[in-house]
Chain A
Amino acid sequence: MKNLWDKFLKGYTFLIFLFLYAPIAILVLFSFNEGFMVGARRVGSTVVWRGFSTEWYTKLFDSPAIWAALGNSSMIAMITSIASAVLGTLSAYAVIRYNFKGKNLFYIFMLIPIIIPEITEALSLLLFYVTFGVKLGLHTIIIGHATFCISFVFTVVKARLADYDKSLEEAAQSLGATPVQAFIKVTLPILAPGILAGTLLAFTQSFDDLIKASFTTGAGVITLPMLIFSKIKFGVSPEINAIATITLLISGTLALISYWIQNSS
């Protein structure tokens, strides 16, 4: 009886993971699908396999629009994640190291930007920019992404430090280190894996964001998710699968690095 139940759960778990990963695997597979000619246009199928080809990737590498979008997304994610790492780490450190009034309120304050529907955040920021006459561009997207990326870094660093021993830093200070020295020499190395994991998560969340970028972008600034979204509106194609595969490759690599950091320390 026990065995049967266990087998059922095992099979169920397998099916759930199949459900989570099969669509992604199929998407990647069909990015290598061979195209065919319809009139003068080369098209391809995302559901019927015709043969292996890398033609869609070759097409991508020749497209200046893709390179521009990739450049914009990388730039935005880089600046966002570094800025969020600094602010998120300072806040997490304050929460772990000190007891202060309003700590619980601050937890809620930091959770809200992650869980509130992103579209409400995005449109409110757009109205903010419009009201104060802020010129829209890369920088306005970066600010928009930082509001939730700080929360991501905060959450990851805080979770990582739940069992942090503050007496270590006090010991360093009683041995003559200044608070800043104690922080850099003692606390920061302990924090480092958490900060790195949080920064990587912030990078992917910014890199993959569609909604906030669409609302707060300036004329002519297009990010990779915006480019994919606008192409989907014209219908599915192996070319979109190929761009999507590139985003999966970038985020997936960062996710694995993050797990490797967290498990090896």
Chain B
Amino acid sequence: MNEGKQLSSNEHKNIKAYYLLIPTVAFEFIFFIVPLVIVFIYSFSQTDPFGRIRFEFTLSNYFRVFTPEFTRTMFRTFSLATISTILCLIVGYPLAYYIGYKEKKYQSLLLMLVIIPFWLSFVTRTYSMISIFSSNGILNQVLAFFGLIKDRPQWLYNWYSVVAGMIYNYLPMAVLPIYASVEKLDKAYLEAAQSLGANKFVTFLKVTLPLTLPGVVAGSILVFIPSVGEFLIPELLGGVDWYMMGNYLWMTFLTIGNYPFGAALSIVLIVIVLLFIAIYSKYFAKEVELGF
């Protein structure tokens, strides 16, 4: 009897949680989910000769997405995002490791230094790279000062300037989750491995790396997804030859105004992202902790 009452009062409490969630869920449903459904519908529509949209089912937009012009772009997008993700992890891991082993009082300061760029304007940060990499830019001035170069190579408008821009902007997203898993790591395991005769390198490979793998996975999600949909970095640092899918989406919607084709292109991008999320889904909600 008493138990039954307890249960119903708990249920009552749970219903209260749903009331609190209603405004957010309703808002996100209307302005986030419904628009995605609309994109899906548009991707099967067509334009008449006057450029007006007719909702008659067609797959022609998807056929166009899979012509060589766009499969090349998709391949380029995927490659650039993958290279950027791997490099972010490689560059970010030692930093996360270092911060994770620092004394507590330095940890928060170092973390703050990692996170602050994320607060600063994305446009401004990307713009700041132009003056570094341009042919008469700071990098060449420094290299020439040390006598390392004779002429002034153009670092911009190449795949590596796009990747450098990605690392510059997304490094914090790789460092934060790796740091979180290094910090959680029970240091007793390392002492155990070393007292059993493993050297530092073996300890790292057999103990530290496997135990921090969830952080690495979370970091790869947080870097790969925004970079596969990146627009601004290839726009400013890559140029037309290194345009990614995001640049074609921008052009198709804001310059050309071909909504049905743009919709199909973006559905393909969304599917790539969803596939990626599906692969990592078991790590998804658990490990992706953002530490702003």
> Is A211 located at the chain interface by the 8 A CB criterion?
yes
- Chain A, residues 177-204, CB within 8 Å of chain B (1/0): the string is 0000000000000000000010001001
Chain A residues near B254 (CB-CB < 8 A)? 214-215
Select which of A99, A240, A251 is within 8 A of B127 by beta carbon: A240
Residues 113-154 of B at the A interface (beta carbon under 8 Å): 113-117, 119-125, 127-132, 134, 136-138, 141
Q: Is the interface of A mostly helix, strand, loop or mixed?
A: helix
Chain B residues near A197 (CB-CB < 8 A)? 292
> Is B86 located at the chain interface by the 8 A CB criterion?
no
Q: Is the interface of B mostly helix, strand, loop or mixed?
A: helix
Select which of A91, A144, A207 is within 8 A of B31 by beta carbon: A144
Select which of B24, B35, B226, B230 is within 8 A of A125 by beta carbon: B35
CA distance A124 to B132 in the complex (A): 35
Chain B residues near A27 (CB-CB < 8 A)? 124, 127-128, 131
> Is A32 located at the chain interface by the 8 A CB criterion?
no
* Segment of B60-68, B207-215, B245-253 in the binding face: B245-253
Residues 135-158 of A at the B interface (beta carbon under 8 Å): 143-144, 146-147, 150, 152, 154-156
CA distance A255 to B120 in the complex (A): 8
- Chain B, residues 189-230, CB within 8 Å of chain A (1/0): the string is 000000000001000000000000000000001100110111
Q: Measured between C-beta atoms, what is the minimum distance from A166 to chain B in Å?
A: 10
- Chain A, residues 8-34, CB within 8 Å of chain B (1/0): the string is 011011001101111110110010000
Chain B residues near A218 (CB-CB < 8 A)? none
Q: Measured between C-beta atoms, what is the minimum distance from A250 to chain B in Å?
A: 9
In the complex the two chains form, is B18's CB within 8 Å of A100's CB?
yes
> Is A69 located at the chain interface by the 8 A CB criterion?
no
- Chain A, residues 230-265, CB within 8 Å of chain B (1/0): the string is 001000100010001001100110110011000100
CA distance A192 to B31 in the complex (A): 28
> Is A126 located at the chain interface by the 8 A CB criterion?
yes
> Is A219 located at the chain interface by the 8 A CB criterion?
no
In the complex the two chains form, is B259's CB within 8 Å of A127's CB?
yes
* Segment of A35-43, A50-58, A106-114 in the binding face: A106-114
The total of interchain contacts (Cβ-Cβ below 8 angstroms) comes to 242
- Chain B, residues 11-38, CB within 8 Å of chain A (1/0): the string is 0011011101101110110011011101
CA distance A215 to B13 in the complex (A): 41
CA distance A24 to B207 in the complex (A): 38
In the complex with contacts A47-B137, A248-B120, A119-B38 CB distance below 8 A? no
Select which of B13, B42, B124, B270 is within 8 A of A127 by beta carbon: B42
In the complex the two chains form, is B232's CB within 8 Å of A210's CB?
yes
In the complex the two chains form, is A131's CB within 8 Å of B38's CB?
yes
Chain A residues near B80 (CB-CB < 8 A)? none
Select which of A115, A120, A130, A244 is within 8 A of B128 by beta carbon: A244
Q: Measured between C-beta atoms, what is the minimum distance from B6 to chain A in Å?
A: 14
Q: Measured between C-beta atoms, what is the minimum distance from A261 to chain B in Å?
A: 13
Q: Measured between C-beta atoms, what is the minimum distance from B18 to chain A in Å?
A: 7
> Is B185 located at the chain interface by the 8 A CB criterion?
no
Chain A residues near B114 (CB-CB < 8 A)? 20
CA distance A255 to B95 in the complex (A): 21
CA distance A119 to B16 in the complex (A): 35
Chain A residues near B266 (CB-CB < 8 A)? 119-120, 123-124
In the complex the two chains form, is A119's CB within 8 Å of B136's CB?
no
Select which of A23, A95, A119 is within 8 A of B250 by beta carbon: A119
CA distance A87 to B23 in the complex (A): 7
CA distance A110 to B194 in the complex (A): 42
In the complex the two chains form, is B262's CB within 8 Å of A123's CB?
yes
> Is B70 located at the chain interface by the 8 A CB criterion?
no
Q: Measured between C-beta atoms, what is the minimum distance from A21 to chain B in Å?
A: 8
Given contacts A93-B20, A120-B36, 20 further A-B contacts (CB under 8 A): A5-B200, A13-B110, A16-B91, A20-B117, A47-B136, A91-B24, A94-B18, A104-B285, A114-B290, A115-B222, A115-B225, A116-B229, A120-B249, A123-B263, A124-B38, A144-B31, A154-B24, A208-B123, A214-B254, A229-B123
The residues of A with any CB-CB pair to B shorter than 8 Å are: 5, 9-10, 12-13, 16-17, 19-24, 26-27, 30, 46-48, 86-88, 90-91, 93-95, 97-101, 104, 106-121, 123-128, 130-131, 143-144, 146-147, 150, 152, 154-156, 159, 197, 201, 204, 207-211, 214-215, 225, 228-229, 232, 236, 240, 244, 247-248, 251-252, 254-255, 258-259, 263
Instruction: Sample 9 A-B pairs with CB under 8 A, ordered by A number.
Output: A12-B94, A47-B141, A97-B17, A108-B284, A120-B39, A126-B253, A225-B121, A228-B127, A236-B134
| Ranked 4 nearest A-B pairs via Cβ | A117-B229, A98-B17, A124-B35, A94-B20
